[in-house]
């Protein structure tokens, strides 16, 4: 029970992002001078109705990928959907850290609507903050068990997709070091899945996240209804496989996009209310749906903020990107998998790990382990 193990950080690690429409995976290893070497990248999609999001995460597809591509000596990290993540952050004075187990237990008891014995819970203390910042993440143990059973081999780590986005961007953009220097603007990362979009806000040290009920499936359905075509044809348009002039997207998607922008504005308002004296400097969109449908420009107009996409993975050595052009050309689509592997090689800012095999950090006692289960 506790944070992730940092053992064997020099071996190659696969990060596998398990979505409803398919899986994305990257294989990384640490390189010299703090850089990262990309050793592999893959994207496998479901067929038929499941590809539009009317299914649970593609665990069977992930298991097939692991069997075919993951070597016995590779590290393996797998995602859980952001909507499965229960996250709490609170401050603790350094002199109170001796009672951190009781503090975390009471926080979960008072704020989480599930019996503690049904949860797998982890925490991480940022002791270089004053007061210390404590991050607690939890999920239902049955969700963890389902991933571990389906993958078919032991996993080194299971992490939530929104936390993986945070770890990926903090590591890749060196945001924590910038925060220590006093440059702490809040960046928003929008990671669009099939049914939901994860909103991750960070200044390089803090982690704040919500899930908005709008995803790639909503874009596909709006296109299908507007053009009176099948979901498969609409999906091809959304992915850019069938080209439409940009001006045609606005009439098709205006109502859906307005709804999405409204939900985002509400979420930003909640963030700025819950985090006093906070501001948002830029919004970065991650995922293929943002790239092909004019959504980025629309959001910039509606949100009245600087909105863009992820142009490259800065910490990855260029030779790996040349060998695996999918990550070079579509970096935003692989951010969750990248963040999982980044944690696997020991570069995560928030190293919680809900896998049942996770190694406990110092100070996580048997009493709390028994209380939370897992």
- Per-residue pLDDT tens over the stretch 248-261: 777 888 899 999 99
pTM for the model stands at 0.91
Q: Where are the alpha helices (DSSP H) in the chain?
A: 59-69, 100-111, 141-151, 161-172, 175-180, 216-227, 231-238, 246-274, 288-292, 295-303, 318-323, 325-329, 335-344, 366-372
Q: Please provide the DSSP assignment of 305-366 as one string.
A: S-EEE----TTB-HHHHHH-HHHHH-GGGGHHHHHHHHHHTT--SS-B--STTPPPPTT--H
Distance CA 195, CA 190 (A): 13
Contacts of 4 (CB under 8 A, 6+ apart): 157, 159, 343, 348, 351, 352, 353, 358, 359
Q: Tokens in use for 274?
A: 């819950």
Q: How far is CA 134 from CA 14, 91, 166, in A?
A: 28, 6, 16
pLDDT digits (tens, 9 = 90+) for 8-64: 567 999 999 999 889 999 999 999 988 999 999 999 988 765 445 445 778 999 999
pLDDT digits (tens, 9 = 90+) for 118-176: 999 999 998 888 899 999 999 999 999 999 999 989 999 999 999 999 999 999 998 88
**Res. 367 pLDDT band, cuts 50 70 90:** very low
- What are the structural domains of the chain? 174-313 (3.30.420.40)
| Average pLDDT score over the chain | 87
Give the range among 29-43, 66-80, 200-214, 351-365 with minimum mean pLDDT.
351-365
């Amino acid at each position: 029970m506790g944070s992730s193990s940092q053992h064997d950080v020099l071996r190659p690690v696969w990060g596998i992002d398990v979505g409803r429409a398919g899986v994305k995976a990257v294989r990384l290893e640490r390189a010299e001078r703090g850089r990262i070497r990309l050793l592999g990248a893959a994207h496998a999609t479901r067929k038929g109705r499941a590809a539009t999001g009317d299914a649970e995460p593609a665990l069977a597809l992930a298991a097939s990928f692991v069997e075919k591509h993951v070597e016995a000596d590779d590290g393996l990290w797998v995602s859980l959907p952001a909507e499965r993540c229960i996250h709490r952050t609170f401050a603790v004075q350094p002199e109170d850290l001796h009672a951190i187990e009781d503090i975390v237990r009471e926080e979960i008891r008072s704020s989480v609507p599930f019996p503690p014995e049904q949860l797998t819970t982890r925490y991480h203390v940022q002791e270089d903050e004053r007061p210390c910042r404590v991050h607690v993440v939890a999920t239902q143990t049955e969700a963890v068990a389902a991933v571990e059973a389906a993958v078919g081999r032991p996993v080194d780590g299971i992490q939530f997709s929104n936390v993986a986005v945070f770890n990926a961007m903090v590591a890749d953009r060196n945001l924590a070091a910038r925060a220590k220097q006093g440059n702490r603007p809040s960046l928003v990362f929008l990671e669009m899945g099939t049914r939901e979009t994860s909103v991750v806000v960070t200044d390089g040290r803090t982690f704040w996240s919500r899930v908005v009920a709008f995803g790639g499936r909503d874009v596909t359905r709006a296109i299908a209804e507007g053009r009176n075509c099948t979901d498969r044809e609409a999906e091809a348009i959304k992915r850019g496989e069938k080209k439409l002039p940009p001006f045609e997207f606005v009439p098709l998607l205006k109502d859906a996009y307005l709804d999405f922008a409204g939900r985002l504005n509400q979420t930003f308002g909640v963030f700025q209310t819950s985090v006093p004296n906070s501001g948002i400097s830029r919004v970065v969109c991650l995922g293929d749906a943002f790239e092909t449908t004019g959504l980025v420009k629309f959001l910039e107009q509606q949100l009245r903020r600087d909105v863009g996409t992820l142009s490259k993975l800065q910490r990855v050595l260029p030779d790996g990107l040349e060998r695996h052009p999918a990550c070079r050309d579509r970096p935003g689509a692989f951010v969750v998998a990248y963040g999982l592997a980044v944690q696997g090689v020991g570069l995560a800012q928030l190293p919680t790990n809900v896998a049942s095999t996770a190694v406990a950090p110092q100070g996580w006692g048997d009493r709390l382990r028994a209380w939370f289960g897992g």
